[in-house]
């Protein structure tokens, strides 16, 4: 993986980094790296995520998946970090085995997923660290019912990934289910390269050893200078541009297989860095599609954003047929990937020309090794940025208020937050 920050250094970019700013930033990176290396060495909460390529046991995961490796489909029941990493991996490099995800509590969606599945051929992966996540457990109860309706013994088709105690752990032990542990020191959004992300990966035929090897190459690339470390260069540049006004960070992969990756990144960035009045707003986009949707704003709108452009250096060949339609003759015989790459470069230059800072991330090709490296490097970039902001990267305290309110509304227990909900100020226009 490499990163090109040339278009964030433009003299006329707004915001843009001057060369002397890079030098002072590099000193901050050296300090932050020391803190990160220390956290990794002690396997501290959160920093432990950067040790996953070493600590994750692929053999144990393959063993738990056992007979499920031949399933026709896998269903992940989980939400947020319990689902996004897995979805990112299977979408990008899965072998085509269907991966369904129940990561919401929309009755129409749950019903349509349950109706689509043949449970006799489906592996169900239920993921919740606490074993009590309301959305996940609601769906899981419905899944069990649907399996019973199909005459399938749910205990035969379910893998559990959870913490070392809680209702899901007890359930797994009672029914002797294959059970894996959510690594203790790793927040959900950093768990893609653990049991959480790798179970569906195994079932959809991904090379999880190569994913972890890619992660390892990221770990080996961490160094005290941003000039030698793509991950830190990304985190530092994003942070510095934000300080100068780039409050939004558009993540725009030029590869359909990375659409879920952009979502994964959005969670990583928002939930880790959105604290104490700080944090970039991650904006998901997809090249070239969103050139016809968002580019007008990026180029001509407020100077409050940076754009991250991402692509593989190599793609599968697919030649556009020759045509006798005159206006289209120039396309005939061209590789479709060349069209996409021309759009990529045109967009990048178009942003630069307008003074909108942008960063290019490239990797060899969209395979397990590159993806493992990409996920690892973005996590390292995020942790580095968290050090520079001075926030607690690994917690998400602001989510708790809403959780208590929802639990109160659902009658789990009385909460004052639920009371606050009923005091809503209303001004309705019909």
Applying the rule CB under 8 A, the residues between 297 and 356 that interact with a copy of itself are: 297-305, 315-318, 320-321, 323, 325-328, 330-332, 334-340, 342-343, 345-350, 352-354
Under the criterion CB under 8 A, does residue 205 sit at the interface with a copy of itself? Answer: no
User: Contacting a copy of itself (CB under 8 A), which of 275, 371, 376, 393?
Assistant: 275
> What residues between 114 and 153 interact with a copy of itself by CB under 8 A?
131-132, 134-135, 137-139, 141-142, 144-145
Contacts of 98 (CB under 8 A, 6+ apart): 72, 73, 74
Comparing CB distances to a copy of itself, the nearer of 110 and 194 is 110
Collapsing DSSP to helix, strand or coil, 58 comes out as helix
Alpha helices in 12-76 (DSSP H): 19-41, 52-55, 58-65
Min dist CB 259 to a copy of itself, Å, is: 9
Collapsing DSSP to helix, strand or coil, 284 comes out as strand
Comparing CB distances to a copy of itself, the nearer of 184 and 412 is 412
Min dist CB 208 to a copy of itself, Å, is: 21
Burial class (CB in 10 A: 0-12, 13-18, 19+), 35: middle
The separation between CA 72 and the C-alpha centre of its own chain, rounded to angstroms, equals 25
Comparing CB distances to a copy of itself, the nearer of 59 and 430 is 430
Give catalytic residue positions: 271, 292, 403
Cβ pair 390, 48 in contact under 8 A? no
Under the criterion CB under 8 A, does residue 247 sit at the interface with a copy of itself? Answer: yes
Burial class (CB in 10 A: 0-12, 13-18, 19+), 272: buried
> What residues between 89 and 118 interact with a copy of itself by CB under 8 A?
103-111
> What residues between 25 and 54 interact with a copy of itself by CB under 8 A?
none
Under the criterion CB under 8 A, does residue 277 sit at the interface with a copy of itself? Answer: yes
Min dist CB 99 to a copy of itself, Å, is: 14
> What residues between 248 and 267 interact with a copy of itself by CB under 8 A?
248, 254-257, 263, 266-267
Q: Is 166 left (phi over 0), alpha (psi -120 to 50) or beta?
A: left
**At residue 249, what are phi and psi to the nearest 5 degrees?**
-125, 105
Termini Cα distance of the chain: 53
User: Contacting a copy of itself (CB under 8 A), which of 25, 32, 48, 79?
Assistant: 79
User: Contacting a copy of itself (CB under 8 A), which of 48, 123, 283, 309?
Assistant: 283
Angle at 384 between CA 380 and CA 390, to 5 degrees: 145
Q: Report CA-CA distances (Å) from 178 to 56, 72, 84, 299.
A: 17, 19, 22, 51
Under the criterion CB under 8 A, does residue 65 sit at the interface with a copy of itself? Answer: no
Cβ pair 127, 78 in contact under 8 A? yes
Collapsing DSSP to helix, strand or coil, 244 comes out as coil
Comparing CB distances to a copy of itself, the nearer of 58 and 355 is 355
User: Contacting a copy of itself (CB under 8 A), which of 39, 230, 372, 386?
Assistant: 230
Comparing CB distances to a copy of itself, the nearer of 9 and 62 is 9
Under the criterion CB under 8 A, does residue 410 sit at the interface with a copy of itself? Answer: yes
Contacts of 265 (CB under 8 A, 6+ apart): 251, 282, 284, 378
Interface stretch with a copy of itself, choices 25-33, 40-48, 179-187, 227-235 (CB under 8 A)? 227-235
Under the criterion CB under 8 A, does residue 163 sit at the interface with a copy of itself? Answer: no
Comparing CB distances to a copy of itself, the nearer of 36 and 359 is 359
Comparing CB distances to a copy of itself, the nearer of 37 and 354 is 354
Comparing CB distances to a copy of itself, the nearer of 51 and 80 is 80
User: Contacting a copy of itself (CB under 8 A), which of 72, 118, 228, 364?
Assistant: 228
Cβ pair 33, 235 in contact under 8 A? no
Alpha helices in 301-367 (DSSP H): 336-353
- Sign of the Cα torsion 119, 125, 128, 131 reads positive
> What residues between 373 and 402 interact with a copy of itself by CB under 8 A?
396-399, 401-402
Min dist CB 86 to a copy of itself, Å, is: 14
Min dist CB 192 to a copy of itself, Å, is: 14
Question: How far apart (Å, rounded) are the C-alpha atoms in residues 19 and 51?
Answer: 33
């Amino acid at each position: 993986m490499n990163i090109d920050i040339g278009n964030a250094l433009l003299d006329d970019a707004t915001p843009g980094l001057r060369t002397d700013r890079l030098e002072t930033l590099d000193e901050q990176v050296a300090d932050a790296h020391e803190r990160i290396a220390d956290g990794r060495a002690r396997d501290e909460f959160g920093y432990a995520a950067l040790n996953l390529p070493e600590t994750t046991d692929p053999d144990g995961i393959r063993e738990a998946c056992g007979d499920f490796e031949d399933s026709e489909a896998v269903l992940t029941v989980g939400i947020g970090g319990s689902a996004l990493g897995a979805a990112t991996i299977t979408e990008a490099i899965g072998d085509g085995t269907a991966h369904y995800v129940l990561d919401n509590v929309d009755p129409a969606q749950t019903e349509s997923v349950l109706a689509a599945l043949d449970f006799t051929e489906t592996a169900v992966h239920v993921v919740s660290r606490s074993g009590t996540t309301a959305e996940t457990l609601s769906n899981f109860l419905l899944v069990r019912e649907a399996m019973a309706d199909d005459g399938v013994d749910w205990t035969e088709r379910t893998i559990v990934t959870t913490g070392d105690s809680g209702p899901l752990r007890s359930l797994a032990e009672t029914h002797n289910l294959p059970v894996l542990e959510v690594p203790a020191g790793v927040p959900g959004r950093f768990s893609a390269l653990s049991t959480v992300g790798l179970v569906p990966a195994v079932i959809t035929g991904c090379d999880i050893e190569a994913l972890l090897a890619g992660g390892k190459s990221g770990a080996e690339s961490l160094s005290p200078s941003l000039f030698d470390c793509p991950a830190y260069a990304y985190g530092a540049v994003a942070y510095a541009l934000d300080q100068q006004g780039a409050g939004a960070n558009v993540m725009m992969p030029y590869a359909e297989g990375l659409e879920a990756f952009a979502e994964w990144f959005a969670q990583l960035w928002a939930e880790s860095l959105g604290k104490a009045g700080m944090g970039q707003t991650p904006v998901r986009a997809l090249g070239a599609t969103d050139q016809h949707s968002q580019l007008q704003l990026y180029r001509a709108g407020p100077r409050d954003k940076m754009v991250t452009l991402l692509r593989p250096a190599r793609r599968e060949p697919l030649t556009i047929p020759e045509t006798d339609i005159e206006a289209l003759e120039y396309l005939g015989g061209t590789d479709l990937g060349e069209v996409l790459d021309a759009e990529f470069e045109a967009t990048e230059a178009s942003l630069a020309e307008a003074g909108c800072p942008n960063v290019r991330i490239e990797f060899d090709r969209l395979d397990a090794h590159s993806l493992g490296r990409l996920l690892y490097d973005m996590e390292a970039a995020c942790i580095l940025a968290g050090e520079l902001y001075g926030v607690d990267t690994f917690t998400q305290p602001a989510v708790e208020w809403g959780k208590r309110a929802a639990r109160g509304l659902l009658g789990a227990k009385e909460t004052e937050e639920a009371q606050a909900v009923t005091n809503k100020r209303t001004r309705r226009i019909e």
